[in-house]
């Protein structure tokens, strides 16, 4: 079945995890994504942890569904090849500091001259404008300045970052959505490309919006949690941890009844979230004592029958073996690597234009000859000469590429 | 309206955060988004009809109804209009179908059984509007053994593998400080609708999008899933540390509740950090000789950095480190983000005038476009604020017809009789 973006050629010049996630999604929905990387290998290939064969696992995840060309973008000798690639690109994704982008002659106006109607997406820590535009950043700084860390973790300890790459996944996804928004505009206005500007800190702050406005309306910063009770998140049960996050009145009644706490179930004051919040000391200990006698999946199943929201803390082992995800066909192998690892599958199911994992992550420069050789006016002797001159690179054996 | 989705209309049944954020983003891209609400069953992010008024609004004379002044609702429903419509009545369903003719997109985040029970499942919608795009954001998707298991952000975080990864290195699994999986699902739903809009342009066909919050969130920790597949290991909780690089932490600064995030990935950044810190001796310390050494001695490294930052002013230090090329940022709280000069200069944080709550800074559109500018153009709507406007404009409904609907509680405003 046709994929939504199978008419699209994407050139990925980005070096960041966010940029890589953006182009991974473009590839997942059908775009032909060519990733440029230095001859020494993309810098994401240095990220731990590593697979038994030495390859970076985060890189394997975010570089699937792409072809890799090893070529140093900033080497003037590679410029004709770069421009030939840009002439064929419907979408370009990059993560340079804004001033550097202009210096390299890769700003939107320059790209338009090579490819009218091109969509350029820049994903940077702080965006294309403003006093921090040139200041570097990463996931940690995005979650700090974007507010997230201030409410994450315990009040009596340091603020807590999200788990690995959260700001990057969000910014990469926002970049994907921004690109497809620009495509939708171009669908109705042929030839009208544009520059899409994604700031990682703003995507992080966008997902902080409720806590931000709550802080303002209440005239005090939304705090980190003051205690590790069911009002805040998972608590211990017999074989792990379990979140009983009550959001509707009947969840409360039915959960308390199941736990045998009939006085709490029957007193209607407890049905209001704001009341529970103000009187948490009066119930959390009692509820948690009862929960502690349950195994997590048994409690989940009993609450599910009663249509009460509940969350056993699941490990990756449990999720890979999870019957529900299996029944939905969530896990996937790359079509070109049936003996390879199982990947998490589609983030959403689009039946008429489906997600697909067609390609395993490429080795460094694996497609250098294939991609460059297909460019107009490029022949084998020329590629050999560029190879000998150290302008472009070929694939190296897998175990050598990691731990640079 | 302006923006890349100008001319696109959503008639949406979204509520709480995941669905509301998805459709807010569509509105921010310039789509005309109309949320249909039910008076009998408030959007849970409006709270309850007898909920308390937030402290800072108690002195605002226009702030009259708690359900119009809930920061949760008002933060994720910008750039929308709203109409009330009870879809559990035949008249409500009839009005919905008449509205549907004008819709490109329908979005909802009910439990999976609800649309069918209301008699407005995808097949019914398609019979009314053949190329409609319907996106359903549910806890576990619309198929599979858990399809009818309810869930919200606070329970999807544990069941998507996220909670097991989040927390202090010596601590238990945690949920984040708010219902983060909703935001992840909302962003994914937004991306899904756009993909389907482009597909519709190419083929003329709409489609039904099944988004499982569990799956969308599992994708956001997919690197840890792949790690388990390839190594058999469950990644431990990392606190503020990085899998690869050190230093990478949040450190206390001078003053009450003042924290700074600092990280270095390259040797150049490490050298710059030592220089800004005035601790040139760190560079000569064998424990910190390269990234591998720093990673192996991270407790000592964090202690040294923390001892230094404890005497420093947070904001000045973040500026100095940033200027030197080191990753650094103040940990801003909810009040401070609203006043961050960079985010304000870019227009990301801007004042929004709400008819009841008044004028407050809010976070805006997380993506910019050079050709099709996007902006916050509407505050979150009051419940039923655009009833007559929407029904009149799209359906040609008369005032008398609307009044009749309102009298019977099918539309109208405020607590049901």
Please give the pLDDT value at position B359: 98
Query: With an 8 Å Cβ cutoff, are A4 and B331 in contact?
Result: no
Please give the pLDDT value at position A1: 73
pLDDT-derived band at A398, boundaries 50, 70, 90: very low
- Domain around B51: 9-220+346-407
Pick the CATH number of A235-312 from 3.40.190.10, 3.40.50.300, 3.30.1540.10, 3.30.420.40: 3.30.1540.10
* DSSP assignments along A65-96, one per residue: T-EEEEE-TT-GGGHHHHHHHHHT-SEEEE--
- Rounded to two decimals, the ipTM of the complex is 0.98
Let me know whether B317 and B386 are in one domain.
Answer: no
Please give the pLDDT value at position A396: 63
Residue after which a domain boundary falls, among B300, B333, B366 = B333
pLDDT, tens digit, for every residue of A31-63? 999 999 999 999 999 999 999 999 999 999 999
Q: Which residues of A touch B235 (CB under 8 A)?
A: 49, 164, 316
| Token pair for A334 | 């790359």
pLDDT, tens digit, for every residue of A251-279? 999 999 999 999 999 999 998 888 888 89
Query: With an 8 Å Cβ cutoff, are A216 and B252 in contact?
Result: no
Q: Which residues contact A157 (CB under 8 A, 6 or more apart)?
A: A224, B168
Let me know whether B289 and B392 are in one domain.
Answer: no
Question: What percent of chain B stands above pLDDT 90?
Answer: 99
Q: Is residue B339 part of a domain?
A: no
Nearest to A253 by CA among A288, A303, A291: A303
Please give the pLDDT value at position B19: 98
Class (C level, CATH) for A9-208+330-403: alpha beta
> CB-based contact (8 Å) between A202 and chain B?
yes
Query: Strand order in B248-252's β-sheet?
Result: B248-252, B259-263, B327-330
What is the C-alpha separation between B190 and A181, in angstroms, rounded?
10
Query: With an 8 Å Cβ cutoff, are B75 and A307 in contact?
Result: no
Question: What percent of chain A stands above pLDDT 70?
Answer: 98
> CB-based contact (8 Å) between A268 and chain B?
no
Ranges of chain B with pLDDT below 50: none
Mean pLDDT estimate for chain A: 95
Residue after which a domain boundary falls, among B333, B359, B388 = B333
The pTM assigned to this predicted structure is: 0.97
pLDDT, tens digit, for every residue of A206-238? 999 999 999 999 999 999 998 778 888 999 999
Contacts 24+ apart (CB under 8 A), A97-105: A97/A124, A97/A133, A97/A134, A97/A136, A98/A122, A98/A124, A98/A128, A98/A129, A98/A133, A98/A134, A99/A133, A99/A134, A104/A73, A104/A74
Distance in Å, alpha carbon of B55 to nearest chain A alpha carbon: 5
Q: Is residue B415 part of a domain?
A: no
Distance in Å, alpha carbon of A222 to nearest chain B alpha carbon: 6
> CB-based contact (8 Å) between B157 and chain A?
yes
pLDDT-derived band at A70, boundaries 50, 70, 90: very high
Better-scored residue on pLDDT, A18 or A404: A18
Residues of chain A with CATH 3.30.1540.10: 235-312
The count of structural domains within chain B is: 2
């Amino acid at each position: 079945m046709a994929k939504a973006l199978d008419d699209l050629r994407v050139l990925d010049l980005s070096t960041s995890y966010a940029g890589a996630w953006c182009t991974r999604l473009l590839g997942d929905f059908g775009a032909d994504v060519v990733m440029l990387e230095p001859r020494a290998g993309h810098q994401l290939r240095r990220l731990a942890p590593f697979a038994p064969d030495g390859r970076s696992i985060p890189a394997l995840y975010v570089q699937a569904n792409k072809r890799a060309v090893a070529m140093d973008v900033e080497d003037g000798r590679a410029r004709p090849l770069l421009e030939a690639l840009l002439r064929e690109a419907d979408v370009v994704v990059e993560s340079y500091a804004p001033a550097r982008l202009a210096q390299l002659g890769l700003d939107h106006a320059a790209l338009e001259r090579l490819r009218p109607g091109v969509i350029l997406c820049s994903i940077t820590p702080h965006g294309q404008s403003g006093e921090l535009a040139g200041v570097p950043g990463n996931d940690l700084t995005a979650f700090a300045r974007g507010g997230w860390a201030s409410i994450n973790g315990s009040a009596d300890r340091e603020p807590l970052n999200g788990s690995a790459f959260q700001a990057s996944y969000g910014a990469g996804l926002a970049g994907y959505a921004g690109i497809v928004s620009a495509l939708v505009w171009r669908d109705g206005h042929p030839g009208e490309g544009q520059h899409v500007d994604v700031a990682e800190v703003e995507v992080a702050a966008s997902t902080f919006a409720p806590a931000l406005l709550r802080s303002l309306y209440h005239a005090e910063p939304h705090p980190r949690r003051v205690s590790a009770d069911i009002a805040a998140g998972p608590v211990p049960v017999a074989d792990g941890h379990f979140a009983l996050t009550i959001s509707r009145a009947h969840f409360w009644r039915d959960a308390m009844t199941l736990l045998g706490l009939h006085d709490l179930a029957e007193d209607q004051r407890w049905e209001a979230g704001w009341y529970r919040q103000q009187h948490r000391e009066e119930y959390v200990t009692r509820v948690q004592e009862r929960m502690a006698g349950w195994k997590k999946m048994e409690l989940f199943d009993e609450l599910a029958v009663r249509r009460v929201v509940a969350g056993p803390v699941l490990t990756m082992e449990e999720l890979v073996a999870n019957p529900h995800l299996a029944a939905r066909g969530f896990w996937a192998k790359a079509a070109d690597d049936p003996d390879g690892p199982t990947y998490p599958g589609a983030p959403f199911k689009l039946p008429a234009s489906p997600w697909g994992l067609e390609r395993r992550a490429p080795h460094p420069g694996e497609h250098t000859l294939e991609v460059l050789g297909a460019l107009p006016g490029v022949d084998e002797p020329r590629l050999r000469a560029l190879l000998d001159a150290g302008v472009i690179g070929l694939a190296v054996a897998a175990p050598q590429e990691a731990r640079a | 309206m302006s923006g890349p989705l100008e001319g696109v209309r959503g008639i949406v049944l979204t509520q709480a955060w995941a669905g509301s954020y998805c459709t807010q983003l569509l509105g921010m891209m310039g789509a005309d988004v109309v949320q249909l609400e039910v008076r009998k069953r408030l959007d849970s992010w409006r709270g309850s009809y007898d909920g308390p008024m937030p402290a800072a609004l108690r002195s605002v004379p226009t702030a009259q109804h708690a359900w119009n002044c809930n920061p949760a609702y008002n933060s994720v429903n910008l750039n929308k209009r709203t109409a009330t419509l009870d879809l559990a009545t035949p008249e409500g369903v009839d009005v919905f179908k008449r509205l549907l003719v004008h819709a490109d997109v329908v979005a909802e985040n009910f439990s999976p059984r609800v649309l069918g029970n209301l008699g407005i499942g995808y097949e019914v919608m398609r019979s009314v509007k053949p190329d409609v795009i319907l996106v359903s954001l549910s806890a576990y998707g619309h198929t599979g053994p858990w399809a009818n298991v309810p869930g919200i952000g606070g329970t999807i975080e544990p069941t998507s593998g996220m909670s097991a990864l989040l927390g202090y290195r010596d601590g238990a699994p945690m949920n984040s400080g708010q219902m983060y999986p909703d935001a992840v699902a909302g962003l994914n739903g937004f991306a899904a609708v756009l993909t389907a809009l482009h597909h519709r342009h190419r083929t003329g066909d709409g489609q039904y999008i099944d988004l499982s919050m569990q799956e969308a969130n599992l994708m956001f920790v997919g690197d840890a899933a792949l790690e388990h597949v390839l190594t058999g290991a469950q990644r431990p909780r990392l606190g503020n540390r990085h899998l690869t690089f050190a230093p990478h932490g949040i450190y206390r600064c001078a003053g009450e509740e003042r924290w700074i995030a600092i990280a270095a990935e390259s040797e150049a950044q490490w050298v710059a950090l030592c220089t800004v810190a005035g601790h040139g001796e760190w560079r000569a310390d064998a424990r910190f000789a390269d990234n591998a050494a720093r990673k192996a001695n991270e407790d000592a490294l964090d202690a040294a950095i923390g001892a230094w930052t404890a005497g420093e002013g947070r904001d000045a230090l973040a500026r100095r480190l940033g200027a030197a090329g080191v990753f650094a940022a103040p940990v801003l709280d909810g009040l401070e983000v609203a006043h961050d000069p960079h985010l304000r200069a870019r227009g990301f944080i801007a004042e929004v005038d709400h008819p009841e709550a008044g004028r407050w800074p809010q976070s805006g559109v997380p993506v910019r476009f050079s050709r099709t500018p996007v902006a916050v153009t509407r505050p979150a709507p009051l419940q039923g604020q655009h009833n007559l406007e929407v029904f009149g404009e799209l359906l040609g409904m008369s005032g008398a017809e609307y009044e009749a609907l309102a009298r019977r509680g099918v539309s109208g405003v405020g607590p049901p009789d």
